[in-house]
């Protein structure tokens, strides 16, 4: 399969990239790792006239701590995220998430920014980044704005990104130690993409009570789904097995999952509860 013909630009700076996006408007698409865009182009699901390759723009990859925030450059690969000491230590649930994306080849080329911008409802990172209350730095020739994950993911394959904007970085608040974050995934047996997944981020005080909880489901809606009833059932409670099971039982409240050839609605609803429980228990165990 071959894509339709397209023009290719490899700018050396963001300023140059912004100029190209302005010049070509909606006919242009940014290229990062190419592991979602190029297959879609080969299937002619998308036919951009121009690709703006970000790989030679400096300053868009790498992981650094900025005060109480972890900043991950948009071009940072899944492998870099899954193996970085700062991520493994502070946000182990994020490292776990990046480590179960596709296969080694995909993880070596695919980028966090590409996954987030693509907003596939069967992707892994949007789920965990929503649980971690991440925000996304969207940059254009007009400046910079930061959008929280809860507002960034709008619908299937749709985000708050405007065509002239580039996602330059992902900012994640660092939780107090120990970091109780986790990710649990039911992968499709053929594609490896998410059938249903769950991410949890829990804060626990010295007395053992859960002071804040974010529980997010993947694969059950067009965007990552906050399981707010489960979150409320955890908050203020000691994380006993009974409390966690009862909270997870509410994870599927209010979801209306789309069926596909592999999983129908009832199966997804059931798996949402199972994987929410696994994620909550794994996060709580990370003392
Ligand atoms: C065989 C295979 C298996 C896979 N398995 C999984 C899996 O199990 N789980 C999973 O989550 N993903 C999976 N993926 C997808 C993979 O994670 C991709 O790497 C990711 O979805 C897109 O990242 P990318 O860097 O390749 O982006 P690209 O393909 O280059 O771009 C994707 C889209 O995002 C836009 N974009 C990219 N970067 C930016 C930016 N910085 N600013 C603005 N827009 C941008 C592009 O214009 C394009 O529309 C798989 C892919 C393959 C080929």
Q: For residue 193, tell me if it sits in a domain.
A: yes
**Could you identify the atom of ligand 1 that is nearest to the CA of residue 161?**
43
Q: For residue 142, tell me if it sits in a domain.
A: yes
Q: Same structural domain for residues 22 and 111? A: no
- For position 1, what pLDDT does the model report? 82
- For position 261, what pLDDT does the model report? 86
Supply the pTM of this predicted model: 0.97
Q: Of the candidates 150, 173, 196, which is a domain's last residue? A: 173
Provide the domain limits for residue 19. 7-53
Low-confidence ranges of the chain (pLDDT < 70): 178
Which residue among 45, 49, 106, 113 is best mutated to probe the pocket of ligand 1, counting the most ligand atoms within 8 A of its Cβ?
106
Q: Measured in angstroms, how far is the CA atom of residue 282 from the centroid of ligand 1?
A: 27
Give the residue from 87, 166, 102, 82 showing the smallest Cα distance to 134: 87
Q: For residue 1, tell me if it sits in a domain.
A: no
- For position 15, what pLDDT does the model report? 97
The phi-psi region of residue 180 (left if phi > 0; otherwise alpha if psi is between -120 and 50; otherwise beta) is beta
Q: Same structural domain for residues 109 and 153? A: yes
Tell me how far apart the alpha carbons of residues 219 and 186 are, in angstroms, rounded to a whole number: 9
Please count the other Cβ atoms lying within 10 Å of the Cβ belonging to residue 54. Answer: 24
- For position 136, what pLDDT does the model report? 98
φ, ψ at 255 (rounded to 5°): -90, 150
Give the residue from 81, 111, 98, 92 showing the smallest Cα distance to 201: 92
Q: Same structural domain for residues 104 and 15? A: no
Q: Same structural domain for residues 168 and 185? A: no
What does the pLDDT look like over 141-175, one tens digit per residue?
A: 999 999 999 999 999 999 999 999 999 999 999 98
Q: What is the DSSP letter of 32?
A: S
Give the residue from 138, 130, 88, 109 showing the smallest Cα distance to 37: 109
Domain containing 264 — which CATH number? 3.30.390.50
Q: For residue 58, tell me if it sits in a domain.
A: no
- For position 177, what pLDDT does the model report? 72
- Do residues 138 and 166 touch, judged by C-beta distance below 8 A? yes
């Amino acid at each position: 399969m071959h894509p339709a013909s397209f023009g290719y630009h490899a700018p050396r700076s963001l300023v140059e990239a912004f100029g190209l996006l302005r010049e070509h408007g909606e006919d242009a698409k940014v290229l990062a790792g190419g592991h979602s865009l190029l297959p879609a182009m080969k299937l002619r699901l998308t036919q951009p006239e121009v690709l703006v390759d970000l790989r030679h723009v400096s300053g868009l990859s790498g992981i650094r701590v900025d005060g109480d925030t972890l900043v991950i450059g948009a071009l940072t690969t899944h492998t870099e995220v899954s193996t970085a000491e700062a991520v493994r230590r502070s946000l182990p649930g994020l490292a776990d998430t990046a480590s179960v994306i596709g296969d080694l080849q995909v993880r070596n080329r695919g980028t966090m920014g590409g996954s987030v911008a693509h907003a596939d409802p069967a992707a892994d990172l949007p789920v965990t980044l929503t649980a971690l209350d991440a925000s996304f730095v969207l940059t254009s020739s007009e400046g910079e704005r930061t959008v929280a994950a809860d507002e960034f993911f709008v619908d299937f394959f749709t985000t708050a990104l405007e065509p002239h904007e580039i996602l330059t970085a992902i900012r994640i608040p660092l939780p107090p130690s120990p970091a109780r974050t986790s990710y649990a995934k039911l992968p499709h047996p053929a594609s490896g993409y998410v059938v249903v997944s769950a991410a949890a981020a829990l804060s626990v005080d010295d007395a053992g009570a859960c002071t804040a909880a974010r529980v997010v489901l993947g694969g059950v809606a067009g965007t990552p789904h906050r399981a707010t009833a489960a979150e409320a059932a955890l908050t203020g409670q000691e994380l006993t097995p009974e409390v966690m099971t009862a909270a997870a039982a509410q994870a599927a409240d209010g979801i209306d999952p789309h069926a596909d050839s592999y999983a129908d609605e009832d199966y997804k609803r059931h798996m949402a509860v199972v994987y929410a429980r696994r994620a909550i228990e794994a996060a709580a165990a990370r003392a």
